[in-house]
Amino acid sequence: MKRTIKKNPAEAEPARQLALHVDTVIHQTPFWASHAGDQDDIILSTRIRLARNLAGIPFPTIARREELDTVVERIGNACKSIRMLQPALTVDIRQCKTLISKALVERRLISPVFAESSSAGIAVIDESEQLSIMVNEEDHLRLQSIQPGLSLQEAWRQISRLDDELSEQVEYAFSDKFGYLTACPTNTGTGMRASILIHLPALSILEQVDQAIKELAPSELAIRGFYGEGTDIIGNIYQVSNQLTLGRTEAAIISRLEVIAYKFLDLERNARDKLLHIHRVRLEDEVFRALGILQAARVLSSAELMKHLSMVRLGNELNLIQEIDHRILNELMIFTQPAHLQLLHENITDPESRDVLRARLVREKLAG
Amino acid sequence: MKRTIKKNPAEAEPARQLALHVDTVIHQTPFWASHAGDQDDIILSTRIRLARNLAGIPFPTIARREELDTVVERIGNACKSIRMLQPALTVDIRQCKTLISKALVERRLISPVFAESSSAGIAVIDESEQLSIMVNEEDHLRLQSIQPGLSLQEAWRQISRLDDELSEQVEYAFSDKFGYLTACPTNTGTGMRASILIHLPALSILEQVDQAIKELAPSELAIRGFYGEGTDIIGNIYQVSNQLTLGRTEAAIISRLEVIAYKFLDLERNARDKLLHIHRVRLEDEVFRALGILQAARVLSSAELMKHLSMVRLGNELNLIQEIDHRILNELMIFTQPAHLQLLHENITDPESRDVLRARLVREKLAG
C-alpha cells in the first residue's frame, strides 16, 4: 500500500500544553480532508474507534453522578500528559453551545447522542482532528482516529498507541474470557469498529451498488450512510464497517475490511472505465452540468449539493475537470453542513436562508 | 407606440437585380432577430401574411400543371421589378434540397406543407427576410412580412405596399361581396392573418397563462406554439393571431390584435414585478441555473434548450443577467434548430449527435 501522507501534525510537533479554542477548530479543515491519502480518488477517509471502560466503575448508563465526575476527572488528567493529543481541545459537553456540539457531530468528532447528553462528559480532540476521545458516551471511553483515504494501518497504529498510553494511567475493565467489557455486548471483545467512507458514483450510475454490496459485504460488515448508523446514503458515499468485535483479533478485523475495500475499489474503477469508454459524452454532460449548477445556483439544499458534488468529484478524479482542488471538494462537504453554516452567520436560522448561504459559499469556493 | 427600428434594409438600398444564394441566407441572422423592436422584452416578433390568388386561374389544389407554371412565371417576373424585394432569393421548391427547405421552415419563411410540395412552386425572399412570398402553396400567393417586437403597423405598411405593387402587375381574384377569394373559405375576405410571438415566462411560472388566455383571447383569436398551427408551446413562447378574415377591415383586425397584445404585456409585466419583489431569490436561482446549464451541458435537446433559454431571456430582460446580448438569445433559438445544425455539419444525422453539436454551439455562443 503506497502511502502518500507527507506530514502528521499530531506527532510531528512537540507537546504543547496550550488549550485550543473550539471556534478555531470548527473553522479549520480537518487533517483527513486536507491531506492526500492512499486510494483517495475513491476512499474519502478511514476511521477506527475503540470502546473502553474503567475498571470498578459502572457503565455510564447506570453510573451515579459522582462516578461520572470521577471518570471525567481521571481521563481528563490522563489526556493532559499524552503527547500525541497536544495541543488538545477539551469540550465540556454540558457547557457546550448546541450549535458547537452539532458542528462537532458534523465533523464526526462526537456522536449525536453525546451531543445531547446532559450528564458529565467531555470530548478531547487533538488539533488536527486525527484523534478524539468521548468520555461518558455509551462507554466511559470512545477513542477515535480518522485518517485520509484508505489508512487502516495508520489509523490502527495511532489509536493503538493512544490506547496504550491511556492504559498506563487508568485501569480498563477487561476480562480474559471476553476481552474489553462494554456497555453494549455488540462491542465487547476488541471494542473496535473500523470503517471506511467510500465514494461509489460510477457503480451508482450503472445501478450496480446493491449488487456489489450483496456480493462483497457479508453479514459481518455493515453498510451505512455518511453519518453512520440509521443515516441515508447521500452523494453516493457509503460507510463500510465491521459488525463483529468478539472472537477476532484487531488485525484480523482490519485485514478483512481492507480486502473488502480493495474489492470495492476494483468494482468502482471498472465501472469508471466503462463510463469513460462507453458513455463518455453522457458522463461529461452530467459532470459539467453538476459543476455548472454548483457554480450558478442561488438556493442549494444539502442533499442537492451532495448529489452534484459526487459528480464533480468523479469528473475531477477522471480528469474531465482539471481546475478544482480535491481539498476544495472536501471542504465544501464539511463547511456547508447546517451547523457549520449557522456558525458562519449566527442570525440565519431558517432552512431557506441556510440554502441561500450554502449556495453563496459554494459559488465562492468554486470560483477560487 | 414608440418605434425603435433604425433602418430598414429592404427599403433603404436601391434595387439590385442580384440573385442571392440560399446558403448565404440560411447562415445570416434575420432582421427580426437582429434588430430592436418595440416591446421586444416580451414580444419577439410580429408577422402579417396575405392570401391572394390570380383571377381566371384555378386555385393550386385543382389547377393543372401548365396553370401552376403560368402562376410561377407571372409572379416570378413581377417580383423582379419590385424594388422592396431586392436583392431577392428565389427558391424553386422542387429543386430545393430537403435540408434547405427544412431550414426555411425553421426560419418561418415557408410552410411545412410547401416545403414538401412536388408541384411547381417558388419562394421569393428579400435579403433581410422581412418580406417573403410563397407561390402555389394553398393559394397562388402568400405574402408575408416579419418584423421585430410589436410592429403591427410597420408589418402592415410593408405587406400592404408589396400587395399594391404586385396588384399593379397581376390581376387578383376579388369579389365585391366577399373580398379576396381564397382556396380555403376561412381566409376569404381580407386574406389576412396577423400574429405576434409573445414570451410569457413569468405568467407561466405563476401558472397564470391559461387564465390569461381565457380572459384575453376570445374565440376570434387563436393561441398556438412557436411554429404555428398544431405545434406545441416551447420555451413559454405563444403565437397569438386573428381567426376571422371576413367582415372586418385589415385595420380593425390589426387594432384588435394590438389591444390584446398590450393586455398580455400588462399581465406579463405585472407577473415579472411580482416575481422580482416576492420571489426574487427563487427567480435568480432559476435564471442562473438555466444559464449555468446552457454554459455547461454537453448534450442538449431542442426542448431543454428552449426551456432554459426562456429563463435566461427573462433574467436578461430583468437585468439579473447583464452580460448577454439580446441578439445572441435570438440566434441561439434560430441556429440550434435541427436543419440549421445539420447544415453546419452535414455528416451529423442522428438526434444524439445533433444534441451534442447543439450543446457545443450554445456554449460557444454564450462564451462570447
Nearest Cα neighbor of A365 from A291, A314, A307 is A291
Q: How does pLDDT run across B133-149, given as a tens digit for each residue?
A: 999 999 999 999 999 99
Q: Which residues in chain B touch residue A293, judged by CB atoms under 8 angstroms apart? A: 289, 292-293, 296
Give a three-class secondary structure readout of B41-67.
CCEEEEEEEEEECECCCCCCCCCCHHH
Would you state the cell numbers that stand for residue B132, as one nine-digit string? 417573403
What pLDDT score was predicted for residue A19? 58
Question: N- to C-terminal Cα distance for chain A?
Answer: 33
Q: Given an 8 Å threshold on Cβ–Cβ distance, is B281 in contact with A295?
A: no
Q: Given an 8 Å threshold on Cβ–Cβ distance, is B282 in contact with A291?
A: no
Burial of B362 (0-12, 13-18, 19+ CB in 10 A): buried
Q: Which residues in chain A touch residue B288, judged by CB atoms under 8 angstroms apart? A: 296-298
Give me the long-range contacts of B346-353 (CB less than 8 A, separation at least 24): B346/B99, B351/B301, B352/B299
Q: B166-185 as b/e, with b when 16 or more CB fall inside 10 Å? A: beeebebbeeeeebbbbbee
Give a three-class secondary structure readout of B130-146.
CEEEEECCCCCEEEEEE
Q: Given an 8 Å threshold on Cβ–Cβ distance, is A298 in contact with B291?
A: no
Residue for grid cell 442561488: A298
Q: Given an 8 Å threshold on Cβ–Cβ distance, is A292 in contact with B288?
A: no
Using alpha carbons only, what angle is made at residue B344 by residues B342 and B347, rounded to the nearest 5 degrees?
Answer: 55
pLDDT range class, residue B348, cuts 50, 70, 90: confident
Percent of chain B with pLDDT over 70: 92
Across chain A, the runs of DSSP E, i.e. the strands, are: 43-52, 88-92, 122-126, 131-135, 141-148, 174-175, 179-180, 192-199, 221-224, 237-242
Q: How does pLDDT run across B44-70, given as a tens digit for each residue?
A: 999 999 999 999 999 999 999 999 999
Give B290 to chain A, closest Cα distance, Å: 8
What pLDDT score was predicted for residue A344? 84
The span from the CA of A224 to the CA of A78, in Å, is 34
- Shortest CB distance from A297 goes to which of B288, B295, B356? B288
Mean pLDDT of B295-310: 96
- Shortest CB distance from A289 goes to which of B282, B293, B356? B293
Mean pLDDT of B82-109: 92
Nearest Cα neighbor of A32 from A50, A46, A11, A48 is A46
Q: Which residues in chain A touch residue B299, judged by CB atoms under 8 angstroms apart? A: 281-282, 285
| Residue-wise DSSP of B78-102 | HHHT-GGG-SEEEEETTTS-HHHHH
The span from the CA of B32 to the CA of B24, in Å, is 17
Give a three-class secondary structure readout of B277-326.
HHCHHHHHHHHHHHHHHHHHCCCCCHHHHHHHHHHHHHHHHCCCCCCCCH
Task: Name the residue with higher pLDDT: B269 or A231.
Answer: B269
- Report the 10 Å Cβ neighbour count for B210: 11
The widest CA-to-CA distance across chain B, in whole angstroms, is: 65
Q: Thinking of the domain A9-197, which architecture would CATH place it in?
A: 2-Layer Sandwich (3.30)
Q: Given an 8 Å threshold on Cβ–Cβ distance, is A297 in contact with B292?
A: yes
What pLDDT score was predicted for residue A233? 77
Prior bond of B14 cis (ω within 30°)? no
The span from the CA of A348 to the CA of A11, in Å, is 38
Residues B30 and B146: beta-carbon distance below 8 Å: yes
Q: How does pLDDT run across B166-212, given as a tens digit for each residue?
A: 999 999 999 999 999 999 988 889 999 999 999 999 999 999 998 99
Q: Given an 8 Å threshold on Cβ–Cβ distance, is A295 in contact with B299?
A: no
Residues A105 and A115: beta-carbon distance below 8 Å: yes
Give the contacts of A73 (CB within 8 A, at least 6 positions apart): none
Would you state the cell numbers that stand for residue B65, as one nine-digit string? 400543371
Which chain B residues have any C-beta within 8 angstroms of a chain A C-beta? 281-282, 284-285, 288-289, 291-293, 295-299, 356, 359
Using alpha carbons only, what angle is made at residue A239 by residues A257 and A192, rounded to the nearest 5 degrees?
Answer: 50
The span from the CA of B55 to the CA of A287, in Å, is 63
What pLDDT score was predicted for residue B354? 93
Strand partners, A142: A51, A134
Mutate to test the interface with B, among A276, A285, A357, A360 (most CBs of B within 10 A): A285
Give the contacts of B208 (CB within 8 A, at least 6 positions apart): B267, B271
Nearest Cα neighbor of A133 from A169, A171, A166, A156 is A166
Q: Given an 8 Å threshold on Cβ–Cβ distance, is A289 in contact with B285?
A: no
Give A305 to chain B, closest Cα distance, Å: 13
Q: Which residues in chain B touch residue A288, judged by CB atoms under 8 angstroms apart? A: 296-298
Residue A27 vs residues A11, A134, A344: alpha-carbon distances, Å: 22, 21, 9
The span from the CA of A322 to the CA of A315, in Å, is 8
Residues A146 and A35: beta-carbon distance below 8 Å: no
Would you state the cell numbers that stand for residue B296, as one nine-digit string? 455547461
What pLDDT score was predicted for residue B19? 58
Over 70: is that where the pLDDT of B104 sits? yes
The half-sphere exposure of A88 on its side-chain side, counting CA atoms within 13 A, is 25
What pLDDT score was predicted for residue A284? 97
pLDDT range class, residue B346, cuts 50, 70, 90: confident
Q: Which residues in chain B touch residue A285, judged by CB atoms under 8 angstroms apart? A: 297-299, 359
The span from the CA of A149 to the CA of A44, in Å, is 5
Give A362 to chain B, closest Cα distance, Å: 13
Would you state the cell numbers that stand for residue B200, as one nine-digit string? 410569457
Give B354 to chain A, closest Cα distance, Å: 13
Mutate to test the interface with A, among B278, B285, B366 (most CBs of A within 10 A): B285
Over 50: is that where the pLDDT of B14 sits? no
What pLDDT score was predicted for residue B230? 64
Q: Which residues in chain A touch residue B282, judged by CB atoms under 8 angstroms apart? A: 299
Give A276 to chain B, closest Cα distance, Å: 14
Q: Where are the alpha helices (H) located in B206-249, listed in sequence order?
A: 209-216
Phi, psi (deg, nearest 5) at residue A230: 75, 10
The span from the CA of A92 to the CA of A75, in Å, is 13
Residues B33 and B148: beta-carbon distance below 8 Å: yes
Over 90: is that where the pLDDT of B27 sits? no
Residues B128 and B35: beta-carbon distance below 8 Å: no
Mutate to test the interface with B, among A275, A279, A289, A356 (most CBs of B within 10 A): A289
What pLDDT score was predicted for residue B351? 86
Give the contacts of B323 (CB within 8 A, at least 6 positions apart): none
- Shortest CB distance from A296 goes to which of B292, B298, B359? B292
Give B291 to chain A, closest Cα distance, Å: 8
Over 70: is that where the pLDDT of B79 sits? yes
Q: What is the mean pLDDT of chain B?
A: 90
Residues A46 and A254: beta-carbon distance below 8 Å: no
Give the contacts of B207 (CB within 8 A, at least 6 positions apart): none
Q: Given an 8 Å threshold on Cβ–Cβ distance, is A289 in contact with B297?
A: yes
Helix (H/G/I), strand (E/B), else coil: A241: strand
The half-sphere exposure of A158 on its side-chain side, counting CA atoms within 13 A, is 28
Task: Name the residue with higher pLDDT: B7 or B306.
Answer: B306
Strand partners, B228: B225
- Shortest CB distance from B297 goes to which of A288, A297, A359? A288
Using alpha carbons only, what angle is made at residue A229 by residues A223 and A235, rounded to the nearest 5 degrees?
Answer: 60
Nearest residue in A to B299, CA atom:
A285
Give A50 to chain B, closest Cα distance, Å: 46
Prior bond of B60 cis (ω within 30°)? no
Residue A45 vs residues A26, A324, B230: alpha-carbon distances, Å: 19, 19, 57
What pLDDT score was predicted for residue A6? 37
Q: Given an 8 Å threshold on Cβ–Cβ distance, is B297 in contact with A284?
A: no
The DSSP letter of residue A287 is: H
Would you state the cell numbers that stand for residue A359, as one nine-digit string? 449556495
Q: Which residues of chain A have pLDDT under 70?
A: 1-19, 217-218, 227-231, 368
